């Protein structure tokens, strides 16, 4: 098959959680640029609606904007049901919704721990389960979990002091590998992307105030850009990765190679 056809997503349906801004919007835009129709969801639906309007106007794809708290099973099921009602199928799921909490381990409360684990781990499970049931009926699908390089390596507290975030992303990586084994028989491919430092609303303060600590540990000498993740999600969502499952694609400027 021509390599350009391998990456063509025309007519595919992609659900992107946390898709209204930041990395989620970068993932959504990449898939739309390849022709996919989108379902964007977040807790603040007004942001989703604005992102959806922009993508419709700029790229001419169909975009459904929905409110969804990924820790709430009825809302997650509603997300899956509405996607099928609107488009008839779900071909791609990008589990991007996530939060962090930075503070020393000795000061982290159980409530803070549970909140991050609920969104990052339980939310990934619930969305995977709901979309996966549809993919099983279809006989195929692509699931892309957004992990982090923090789930693969440790970090000095001066660089990143969030034990619960790194733990949750390590869990997402283990979840990815085991789900790939569980659902391979259904032709559902499950992979993860592990970014390092990218400018977002959440990371803005850290990148501004700890640049001198972080950049020396990145061989490429810069933070990620607004397009550095597009190729990764395009590859894992498309037919180009049809023999790739249970893998973690690290996009970190080489920081984990030190």
Residue range 56-76, pLDDT digits in tens: 999 999 999 999 999 999 999
Domain range spanning residue 93? 3-252
Please say whether the beta carbons of 118 and 43 come within 8 A. Answer: no
The answer to the question of residue 258 being in a domain is no
- The pLDDT tens digits for 163-188 are 999 999 999 999 999 999 999 999 99
pLDDT of residue 178: 98
Whole-prediction pTM value? Answer: 0.96
Q: Is the pLDDT of residue 202 over 90?
A: no
Closest by alpha carbon to 34, among 213, 183, 194, 241? Answer: 241
| Exposed e or buried b per residue across 18-49, where buried means at least 16 C-beta atoms within 10 angstroms of its C-beta | bbbbbbbbbbbbbbbebebbbbbbbbebebbb
The answer to the question of residue 164 being in a domain is yes
- The pLDDT tens digits for 100-151 are 998 999 999 999 999 999 999 999 999 999 999 999 999 999 999 999 999 9
Catalytic residue among 165, 183, 197, 198: 165
The answer to the question of residue 222 being in a domain is yes
Domain harbouring 204, CATH code = 3.40.50.720
pLDDT of residue 228: 97
What's the domain count of the chain? 1
The answer to the question of residue 198 being in a domain is yes
**Can you tell me the mean pLDDT for 212-224?**
94
The answer to the question of residue 45 being in a domain is yes
The gap from C-alpha 223 to its chain's centroid, in whole angstroms, comes to 18
Average pLDDT, the chain: 95
The answer to the question of residue 29 being in a domain is yes
Q: Is the pLDDT of residue 197 over 80?
A: yes
Task: Look up 243 and say whether it is catalytic.
Answer: no
Q: Where are the alpha helices (DSSP H) in the chain?
A: 3-6, 22-33, 45-59, 73-87, 110-117, 123-138, 163-183, 204-209, 211-214, 230-237
Percentage of the chain exceeding pLDDT 70: 100
The answer to the question of residue 257 being in a domain is no
Q: Is the pLDDT of residue 98 over 80?
A: yes
pLDDT of residue 110: 97
Say which residue, 44 or 159, is predicted with more confidence.
44
């Amino acid at each position: 098959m021509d390599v350009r056809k391998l990456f063509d997503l025309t007519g595919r349906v992609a659900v992107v959680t946390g898709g209204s801004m930041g990395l989620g919007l970068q993932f959504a835009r990449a898939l739309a640029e390849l022709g996919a129709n989108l379902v964007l969801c977040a807790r603040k639906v007004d942001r989703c609606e604005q992102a959806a309007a922009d993508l419709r106007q700029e790229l001419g794809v169909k975009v459904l904007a929905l409110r969804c708290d990924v820790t709430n099973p009825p809302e997650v099921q509603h997300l899956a049901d509405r996607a099928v009602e609107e488009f008839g199928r779900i071909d791609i799921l990008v589990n991007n919704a996530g939060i962090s909490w930075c503070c020393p381990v000795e000061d982290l409360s159980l409530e803070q721990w549970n909140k991050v684990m609920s969104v990052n781990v339980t939310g990934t499970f619930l969305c995977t389960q709901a979309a996966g049931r549809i993919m099983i009926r279809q006989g195929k699908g692509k699931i892309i979990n957004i992990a982090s390089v923090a789930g693969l390596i440790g970090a000095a507290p001066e660089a990143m002091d969030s034990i619960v975030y790194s733990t949750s992303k390590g869990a997402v990586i283990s979840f990815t590998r085991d789900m790939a084994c569980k659902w391979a028989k259904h032709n559902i491919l499950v992979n993860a992307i592990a970014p390092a430092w990218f400018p977002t609303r959440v990371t803005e303060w850290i990148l501004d105030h700890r640049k001198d600590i972080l950049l020396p540990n990145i061989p490429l000498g810069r933070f990620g850009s607004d397009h550095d993740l597009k190729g990764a999600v395009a590859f894992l969502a498309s037919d180009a990765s049809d023999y790739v499952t249970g893998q973690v694609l690290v996009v970190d400027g080489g920081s984990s190679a030190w």
